[in-house]
Amino acid sequence: MALWAGRFTKEIDSRTNDFNSSIRFDARMYKEDITGSIAHATMLAQQGIIGADDVKQIVTELPKIMQEIEDGTLPFDPNAEDIHMFVEAELTKRIGDAGKRLHTARSRNDQVALDIRMYLKKECAEIIGMLKEMTAVFCQQAQEHLETVMPGYTHLQRAQPITFAHHLMAYANMFLRDIERMEQAAVRMNVLPLGSGALAGTTYPIDRTKVADLLGFDSITQNSLDGVSDRDFCIDVAAAVSTIMMHLSRFSEEVILWCSWEFKFVELDDAFATGSSIMPQKKNPDITELVRGKTGRVYGDLMTLLTMMKGLPLAYNKDMQEDKEAVFDAVDTVKLCIKTVIPMVQTMRVINENMRAAAAKGFINATDCADYLVKKGLPFRDAYKITGTLVAYCIECSLTLETVPLEVYQQACSSFEKDVYEAISLETCVKERKVAGGPAPQAVQQQIDYVMQKLQENT
């Protein structure tokens, strides 16, 4: 019999029950549900709303239920409507009337709003920890490759020389913003909805702030309708997680390219790649392809939440039960991805020579060649044009700017002197880009130091 069976004359149809039930996906909030109930009961007793004896039984029995769930000795009842009903029914089975008093001054609507917030607060903290670990790994790899010259690209065309460290630190900066977004989501959801009741608060003299203190919330929600019908915090998390996935997916795409024979900039450790069932030569970057693929799925979760909420009148509607599978899937997926990417990046072998060779082939020092002429007094547009002619000549004769003879340079422009070779060497091109944020080793070292410093904050 359902706890709400009073006004019904029939048992619920088993198909309706299965359709309606959320226990198979909300059972994972058992800890939050029980912890929330202990705080609620404690407050009820302090306010004289339920007796000291009742609360004693409640707060003694609930931790036992939690322990048994954890030990696996208390299995979830698949027929229960949801985790809230399951815990309450189990409690009542054990302690009778005292258990029936737990739900005084509370509705499942504010209870579920509380549980998800508590659950996601914990998840945010975990994801932030994982993001920090991943960012540190990127910094460590960068530290090893301050001098590893590679081509930087625009339009996937070789553009200007950078270093592998510089490239990695671009991602480290994205991850810093991801951490910030997760922190902001966690702060915004740290508001206690309990006490909103079903939608219109309660007539009992409850102390919401007391419960907020007990459960570690910064404050309480200011409007009971909003308290029970707000799922912005789920959307915040799914949006922040989608952005993390977008970053991971861009990185994955690059790793996939880099692992190809066309690039061969990196080689994944055997433990983080897979083979083919038919082609013996294959070593596939499956991890990164899956990360890229799972990004779509997380975007889908965000879209599920946004679409689910867009037409709902205030306050609670059962549609909102759909929030959990989406937001849980988003956080589960991002954690899985980060957990796998960390050791993959840690162990991947960078093939410096191939990066260097690719950098040498693409005329990526052409800007520096033009800048050389500018330093000799030519206007940039003229210098640009002269260099363009030289590049065209090189392409025709299969030469590079490093190998074309000085006479050719001087025919193109009399300002060229022998020192042009030094000026356009890839090492010089990188070393001279020492502007803050640039690829020069000392500039990237500053980026690494800054990011590492940021990671230390609030840990």
CB of 220 to ligand ARG, least distance (A): 20
Q: From the CB of 442, what's the least distance to ligand ARG, in Å?
A: 54
Both structure tokens of 109: 């609507």
CB of 362 to ligand ARG, least distance (A): 56
Q: Select 14 or 414, whichever has its Cβ closest to ligand ARG.
A: 14
According to the binding rule CB under 6 A, does residue 40 interact with ligand ARG?
A: no
Residue 3 or 159: which CB sits closer to ligand ARG?
3
| Among 37, 109, 288, 447, contact with ligand ARG (rule: CB under 6 A) | 109
- Please identify, using beta-carbon distances, which residue of 237 and 360 lies nearer to ligand ARG: 237
Give the integer Cα–Cα distance in Å for 363 and 341: 33
155 catalytic per annotation: yes
Q: How many CB atoms lie within 10 A of CB 73?
A: 8
Is 108 a residue that touches ligand ARG (CB under 6 A)?
yes
| Tokens 């299969």 belong to residue | 398
Provide, rounded to whole angstroms, the least separation between the CB of residue 26 and ligand ARG.
6
Q: Which of 238, 246, 243, 241 is nearest to 324 (CA)?
A: 238
Between CA 128 and CA 107 the distance in angstroms is 32
Q: Which of 14, 155, 398, 414 is catalytic?
A: 155
Q: Are 227 and 287 in contact (CB under 8 A)?
A: no
**Of the candidates 97, 87, 77, 74, the residue with the CA atom closest to the CA atom of residue 24:** 77
Contact status: 447 vs ligand ARG (CB under 6 A) = no
Task: Kindly identify the residues of this chain, within the stretch 273-312, that bind ligand ARG according to CB under 6 A.
Answer: none
Segment near ligand ARG (CB under 6 A), from 30-38, 301-309, 318-326, 382-390?
318-326
Structure tokens at 194: 């309990």
Q: Among residues 313 and 405, whose Cβ is nearest to ligand ARG? A: 313
Amino acid identity of 316? Y
Determine which one of 37, 224, 242, 276 is catalytic: 276
Residue 276 annotated among the catalytic residues of the structure: yes
**Residue 106 contacts ligand ARG per CB under 6 A:** no
Least distance CB 90 / ligand ARG (angstroms): 16
Whether the CB-CB separation of 59 and 42 falls below 8 Å is answered with yes
Q: Does 103 participate in binding ligand ARG (rule CB under 6 A)?
A: no
Q: Does 148 bind ligand ARG (CB under 6 A)?
A: no
Per CB under 6 A, contacts with ligand ARG among 63-92 are: 82
- How far, in Å, CA of 362 to CA of 422, rounded? 18
Report whether 162 contacts 439 (CB < 8 A): yes
Give me the phi and psi of 286, to 5 degrees please.
-60, -40
**Least separation in angstroms between CB 321 and ligand ARG:** 4
Angle at 155 between CA 150 and CA 157, to 5 degrees: 45
Q: How many residues bind ligand ARG, per CB under 6 A?
A: 10
**Which position among 30, 119, 217, 316 is part of the footprint of ligand ARG (CB under 6 A)?**
316
Cα distances (Å, whole numbers) of residue 2 to 86, 107, 115? 10, 15, 21
Rule CB under 6 A: choose which of 17, 140, 284, 321 binds ligand ARG.
321
Q: In terms of CB distance, is 108 or 247 closer to ligand ARG? A: 108
423 is written with which tokens? 């000026």
Strand 191-192 relative to strand 219-220, pairing: parallel
Sequence-separated (6 or more) residues with CB below 8 Å from residue 338? 127, 130, 131, 133, 134, 244, 248
Closest approach of ligand ARG to the CB of residue 349, in Å: 47
Q: Is 230 in the site for ligand ARG (CB under 6 A)?
A: no
Q: Quote the CA–CA distance of 53 and 357 in Å, as a whole number.
A: 78
Nearest approach, Cβ of 3 to ligand ARG (angstroms)?
11
Q: Identify the helix (H) or strand (E) that includes residue 161.
A: strand 157-163
Q: Does 317 bind ligand ARG (CB under 6 A)?
A: no
Cα–Cα distance, 338 to 135 (Å, whole number):
10
Among 149, 179, 206, 320, binds ligand ARG (CB under 6 A): 320
| Residue nearer to ligand ARG on the CB measure, 26 or 61 | 26
* Residue in the structure block whose two tokens are 């030990």: 71
Residue numbers annotated as active site? 155, 276
Per CB under 6 A, residues contacting ligand ARG are 22, 26, 82, 108-109, 112, 316, 318, 320-321
